[in-house]
Amino acid sequence: MRHVLLACTLCDRSEGWSVHKPFHQLLRHALWASLQSASPSRRIVMEEEEGRERQGHRPPDYVVDVSIVDDAVIHMMNRRHRGRDMPTNVLSFWDEQACDAWHSMSWTSHGMSRGTSRGLSRGMSRGMSQDGRHRPSMAPWCLGDIILGYQTVMKESRALSMTWYRHACRLIIHGGLHLVGYTHGTEGAYRLMEQKADKAWALTRAAMRDYDESMAG
């Protein structure tokens, strides 16, 4: 079984979620679950955040950027990128080259330009540094960005009688599946994406139970 090392950078601009550090770990777990369910023939390993600077540490094969923003920001992005003049719960911006590499299992072919992410937290070529120079040859593929709208997620979770963190994790799973090519434009595609999402949700069950207990305590 092929092993893939996945990293997740998380930028939390929410009013209340940012104080829940274990919630960030739960979001990363939901992202891992979405990609593991999408690619059951591989073992996806989520990089430990505290181990990134360790000497001799293997660089990740793929990176996903997750941002949590307020409704004003996601409204602007929804209008700009989708032509919809309203806030939304989640947006995904994926890189076609990275998605192709994911499905062709060519993640070890480091050393080329990694494409461009259109999301909020990076927005530059993944093979280039911020000053335009080429990055080191072991730069990871960036699968893309997932943006969560904080206030919209809170409103929806109340309407659904669901905890806010469960709803947020479901949206992260949905966004993660988009990053590797799953869509819901047709009935068949929708059913397939829902099947993958259900499998991913099952993979989060133990972590979600632990988080439920921590919130209750």
| Confidence at residue 58, expressed as pLDDT on a 0 to 100 scale | 75
How far separated are the first and last CA of the chain, in Å rounded? 39
Residue 200: band (very low, low, confident or very high) from pLDDT cuts 50, 70, 90: very high
Tokens in use for 108? 């070890």
Residue 132 and residue 134: Cα distance in Å, rounded? 7
Residue 128: band (very low, low, confident or very high) from pLDDT cuts 50, 70, 90: very low
Average pLDDT over residues 54-81: 86
Is residue 12 within 8 A of residue 24, CB to CB? The reply is yes
Average pLDDT over residues 122-149: 57
**Using CA of residue 65, residue 70, residue 71, residue 75, what is the dihedral sign?**
negative
Q: Residue 78, CB half-sphere, CA atoms under 13 Å: how many?
A: 19
Counting residues of the chain whose pLDDT is more than 90, the rounded percentage is: 48
Average pLDDT over residues 151-175: 95
| Confidence at residue 57, expressed as pLDDT on a 0 to 100 scale | 66
Tokens in use for 6? 């996945």
Residues 87-123: tens digit of each pLDDT? 999 999 988 888 888 877 544 433 323 333 343 333 3
Residue 204: band (very low, low, confident or very high) from pLDDT cuts 50, 70, 90: very high
Pairs from 159-166 (Cβ < 8 Å, separation ≥ 24): 163/212, 163/215, 164/17, 165/20, 165/23, 165/26, 165/211, 165/215, 166/208
Say yes or no to pLDDT of 141 above 50.
yes
User: Which of the residue ranges 14-18, 76-80, 112-116, 159-163 would you say has the lowest mean pLDDT?
Assistant: 112-116
- Record the pTM: 0.81
| Confidence at residue 18, expressed as pLDDT on a 0 to 100 scale | 64
- Report the chain's mean pLDDT, rounded to a whole number: 80
Residues 15-58: tens digit of each pLDDT? 777 666 788 899 999 999 999 999 888 899 988 754 555 545 67
| Confidence at residue 207, expressed as pLDDT on a 0 to 100 scale | 92
